[in-house]
Structure 1
Amino acid sequence: MRIDISLLPALAAAFMLVFARIGAMVMLLPGFGESNIPMRVKLSIALALTLIMLPAHRAGYNVDMTSMTPMLVLMLREIVIGIVLGATARVTISALQVAGSVIAQQLGLGFVTSVDPTQGQQGVLIGNFLNLLGMTLIFATDTHHLVIAALSDSYKIFSPGEVLPTGDVAKLATNAFTAAFKIGVQLAAPFLVFGLVFNMGLGVLARLMPQMQVYFVGVPLSIMIGFLIFALVLSAMMGTYMDYFAGVMHQMMPRT
C-alpha cells in the first residue's frame, strides 16, 4: 500500500496561516484574551478554532512552497488581520470602562479604584464591575458566537493573498473607537443629568445657607441617590450595550 504525502507541506503551510490570523485575534478577544487566562488555554482555543476553520478556508491559500518569502509575507498579513479583528472586538469592552469612569465621577467615586481582574491593572470600581458584567452577559447570551462567525466571514472581506485594504482597516478602527466612546457616554447619560442637577442644587443650597457644610452632606447623598439610579437603569444600560456589541459584530460580517 502506497500513501501519497505530497500534500502535507501545503496543508501545514495553510494551517500555520489560518492559525496566525486566529491566534492573533484570540489574543485580543474579550473573555478569551484576558491577562488572567492561562496561556495554554488561549493556545488550546486558538488551535481548536483553527482546526474548525481550516477545512472551510484552506482552498483560499495558494502558498508557493519553493520560497519562504511569500510564506512570511502571507503570515505577517494574516497576523495584522487578526490583530485588527481582535482589537475591534476589544474596543467594544472599553465602552463600559468609559461609562464606568463617567458614572464614578458623577457619584463622587472617581478616586475609588481596584485591580481589574481581567487586565491586571488599576481601574475605577464601577468600570470594573460593568466590564465583568458585560463579558458575563456576552457569554451567557451566546453572543460570543457572533465573534466566531465574524472571524469566519472575515475571509470574505480579507481574502488570503489579496492586498490589505489599509483604507478600510483605518476606517474600521476609527469607527470602532468613535462608537465605543459614543456609546460609553450614552450609557452614562442619566448620571450626567443627575450630576448636573444635583451639583446645581448644592450650589444654590450653599448660597442660601453659607454656614452649612455642603460637602459633608452632599457626598453621602450623591452616592446614595446615584446607586439608586444605578440599580434602576442597570438593566437598560446593559441591554443597550449588548445591542451595540451585536451591531459591531454584524458590521464585521459582509452582507450577502
Structure 2
Amino acid sequence: MLGFGLSIEPQLWALLFVMVRIGAAFVAAPVFGSVSLPLLVRVSLSGAIGVLVLATNSIAPPPSVFAVATFLSIAAEALVGFAMGFILQIAFAAPLIASELIGGAMGIGFASSIDPQNGRSSPALGQFFSIMLTLLFLSMDGHLVLVDMVVKSYAALPPGQAWLGVDRLKAIAFFGGYAFLAGLLLALPVGFLLLCLNLVVGMMSRAAPALNLFSVGLPASLAVGVVALAIAFPAMGDYMQVIVHESLGAVQTLVLG
C-alpha cells in the first residue's frame, strides 16, 4: 500500500485521506482555526467527522501513498477544504474593516491588543466586533452547517474529481469584495454620524480660528462614537446575522454549485 515494500491498513489509510479535506477546512475556518483551540482537539474532530464521512460515502483512496497521483489527490483535497474555510474567513474580515473605519474616525485607531482568535495584533474595537460575530455564528449553528457542507462535499466533489473549476475560484475571488462592502455597511451608521460631527467641527474651526480643534474635536468624536455605537449596535447585530447567512450561502454555492 505504501510502496517500497511497506503496507498500511486500508481503513486507516482511507481515514487519513479523508481527514485531509476536513483538516484543511478546520485550519482555514474562523472558529476551528483559532490558535486557542488545541491541535489535539482539532485532529480528534477531523477524525470523528472522517469516520462519519466513511460511513455515509464510499471513498476510494489512492492505491499507493508514495506516488505522484496520490500527492495530486491530496493537494486537491486540501484545496477544497481551504476554499470552504477561506470563504468564512473572508466574511469574518468585515468587522475588522468596520472597526478600522469607525476607530479612525473616533480617534481610537491606535488602541490595539493581541487577538486570541489568530494570535496577531488587531484593533480593540475590531476584537469586540469579531467576538460578537463569532457568538452569532455559533448561535446560528454555523459550525454545524460547516461540518454538514464538508460531509456533503464528498458527494458533490468526490475525491479524484475535487479540483475546483475556474467558475468556482472566480466566485471565491468576487466574494472577497463582499468583505469590503459588508465592512462599509457595518460601519455606515456610526461613520455617518462621525462624518457629520467632523463637518460641524470643521465649520467651527473656520468660524473661530482661535478654537483649539484637537481639544474639542477629539473628545467630541469619542463621546459621539461611543453613544452612536450603543444606539446602532442592535442594527449592526442584525447585519452581522446577514453576514453569517451570506458566508454560509457562499460555502453552499461552492460545494453544491
Tell me if both proteins adopt one fold, taking TM over 0.5 as the criterion.
yes
Give the Å deviation of 1:203.
Answer: 0.9
Report whether the alignment pairs 1:44 with 2:44: yes
Q: Is the 8 A contact 2:97 2:183 kept in 1?
A: yes
- Determine the C-alpha separation between the residues in 2 that align with 1:105 and 1:251: 30
- Counterpart CA distance in 2 for 1:146 and 1:10 is 30
Structure 2 portions without partners, runs of 5+: 1-7
Work out whether residues 97 and 184 of structure 1, in 8 Å CA contact, stay in contact via their aligned partners in 2. yes
- How far apart in 2 are the matches of 1:251 and 1:91? 11
1:66-105 equivalences in 2 (<5 Å): 68-105=67-104
Shift of 1:97: 0.7
Is 2:79–2:163's contact at 8 Å kept on the other side of the alignment? Answer: no
Q: Give the stretch that moved more between structures: 175-184 or 8-17.
A: 8-17
How far off is 1:148 after superposition? 1.3
Distance in structure 1 (CA, Å) of the matches to 2:118 and 2:66: 40
In 2: Cα distance, 1:175 partner to 1:62 partner = 33
In the alignment, the residues of structure 2 paired with residue 188 and residue 90 of structure 1 have an alpha-carbon distance, to the nearest angstrom, of 19
Deviation at 1:214, TM superposition (A): 2.2
Q: 1:60: how far off?
A: 4.1
Deviation at 1:250, TM superposition (A): 2.3
5+ long unaligned stretches in structure 1: 1-7
Matches of 1:52 and 1:237 in 2, distance apart?
37
TM-score under structure 1 length normalisation: 0.88
Distance in 1 (alpha carbons) for counterparts of 2:95 and 2:169: 23
Give the Cα–Cα distance (whole angstroms) in 1 for the partners of residues 41 and 144 of structure 2: 18
- Taking only the aligned residue pairs, the percentage that are identical comes to 23
Partner letter of residue 87 of structure 2?
T
Structure 2 equivalent of residue 24 of structure 1: 24
> Does the 8 Å CA contact 1:92/1:180 hold for their aligned counterparts?
yes
Deviations 1:67-108 (A, max 9, x none): 733333211211111111111111111111111111111111
Look up the match of 1:180: 179
Cα drift, residue 53 of structure 1 = 2.0
Tell me by how many angstroms 1:127 deviates: 0.5
Match of 1:145 in 2: 144
Match of 1:33 in 2: 33
Distance 1:138 1:67 in 2: 40
The answer to whether residue 180 in structure 2 is matched with residue 170 in structure 1 is no
Sort the Cα spacing of 1:41 and 1:60 in 2 relative to 1 into closer, same or farther, 3 A: closer
For 2:250, the equivalent position in structure 1 comes to 251
The change in CA–CA distance for 1:188 and 1:66 in structure 2 (over 3 A counts) is: closer
* TM-fit CA distance, 1:163: 5.7
Please list the CA deviations of residues 44-83 of structure 1 after superposition, one character each: whole Å capped at 9, or x if unmatched.
Answer: 22222222222122x1435334973333321121111111
1:147 alignment partner, SS class:
helix
Instruction: Check the 8 A contact 1:150/1:250 in 2, yes or no.
Output: no
Corresponding residue number in structure 2 for 1:154: 153
Q: 1:85 to 1:176 in 2, by over 3 A?
A: same
Task: Report what 1:210 is aligned to.
Answer: 209
State the match for 1:236 in structure 2.
235
Counterpart CA distance in 1 for 2:130 and 2:28 is 15
1:204-223 CA distance string (max 9 Å, x none): 10111112112111111111
- 1:9 deviates by 4.0
The question of whether the paired residues in 2 share the 8 Å contact of 1:146 and 1:246 is answered with no
Counterpart contact for 1:115–1:122, Cα < 8 Å:
yes
Distance 1:144 1:65 in 2: 33
Distance 2:61 2:119 in 1: 41
Task: Supply the distance in 1 between the matched residues of 2:142 and 2:215 (Cα, whole angstroms).
Answer: 44
Label 1:98 to 1:253 Cα distance change in 2 as closer, same or farther (>3 A): same
Length, aligned pairs only = 248
Aligned to 1:55: 55
